[in-house]
Amino acid sequence: MSSRRHFLQKLTGSAMSLPFLQLYGSNSKDIYNRSYQGPVLRVAILGLGSYGTRVAEAMQSCKMAKLVGAISGTPSKLADWQKKYNIPEKNCYNYENFGAIKDNSEIDAVYVITPNALHHDQVIKVAKAGKHVICEKPMAVNAKEGEEMVKACKDAKVKLLVGYRMHFEPKTLEIIRMRKEGELGKIMFFQGLCGFRIGNPDQWRLNRQLAGGGSMMDIGIYAINGSRYMIGEEPVWVTAEETKTDSAKFKEGVDETIQFQLGFPGGAVASCLSTYNMSNLDRFFLNGQAGFAELQPATGYGPIKGRTNKGELSQPHITHQTVQMDEMAGIILEGKQPIVPVDGEEALKDLKIIDAIYLAAKTGKKVALKL
């Protein structure tokens, strides 16, 4: 059964990804119908933890992106990755010496997949080495750091992209298409519920010095970002309230649960929940005067499930990170324009909203937004 499932997953990830990739109007059809002969983005992954491993596995199916390097503070991980992914030893670095990638012509870009508080310095270091950067979200722990990262990459004339995998997800893009074409009518309301019960209290996600916060930085950002691309506007105000039931596990500066509301210039409002203490919360709901759209699960690794007032969404599931890396390769190498932005400026907007949410929760006041 497992081998059959693996076969079907590979079949879905290759042949069935064609309809999605055609959305960009590129030569993606050729990429997935025959051997690809175009440019390939050569990527090193910085941070070889669980998500770094997930990305590495997904990249084995990529056509336009190839894993060629690894950066880690753990020598044993580097040795394992060299063997597993056939990475040359000369393309492996540790956290102290990876600035030397400046002289490595075999690496085009570095994907930073480390705890949030490390992103700022690592991204700037990669940029100064003259390599394009892909950074996992949140891009930084606050907007000030994010601005410095965007500037560093602009100064170095390298691309800065952020790991917004949902921006390439077919059912998500179908809802965005319906909204843009007026099929849902005037948008009035968005709900984003994002949460799970977090486990080990000693993990870095519950360490403010590494995470920069709590659930909002990890899972709440999906609702923030989702409200923006689903409604199709930028919010102009935010209100928020924090609830904490376990101060031993969720220490000062590590949010357990935050409810927040966003107001948009067209009159739409968003009501969202971010939590580390409730399970079965992964739902987006968009309501317009002529229809609705729902995703549940909305942001998991898949398959995403969705429906609208017109019926079930049937777009195929594709491994998110495979599509993300192929499409990001197209952005970097060919200047493609994604339907929903994935650049540093996009990520900076989310950071400004997170800053405002924390301020609103602390003060109990409505906070104006200027994005």
Q: Quote the DSSP letter at residue 160.
A: E
Return d(Cα 183, Cα 160) in angstroms, integer: 34
What's at 63, amino acid-wise? K
Among 63, 131, 137, 352, the active-site one is 137
Alpha carbon separation from 332 to 31, 219, 325, 327, 342 (Å, rounded): 17, 27, 10, 9, 11
Q: What is the b/e burial string over 284-303, where b = at least 16 CB atoms within 10 angstroms of the residue's CB?
A: bbbbbeebbbbbbbbbeeee
CA distance 44 to 34: 26
The CA-based diameter of the chain, rounded to the nearest angstrom, is 58
Active-site annotation holder among 93, 222, 229, 358: 222
**Helices 143-156 and 119-128 sit at what angle, rounded to 10 degrees?**
10
Name the strand (E) or helix (H) holding 76.
helix 75-85
> Are 67 and 56 within 8 A, CB to CB?
yes
Active site residue 24: no
222 given a catalytic annotation: yes
The residues annotated with a catalytic role in the active site are 137, 222
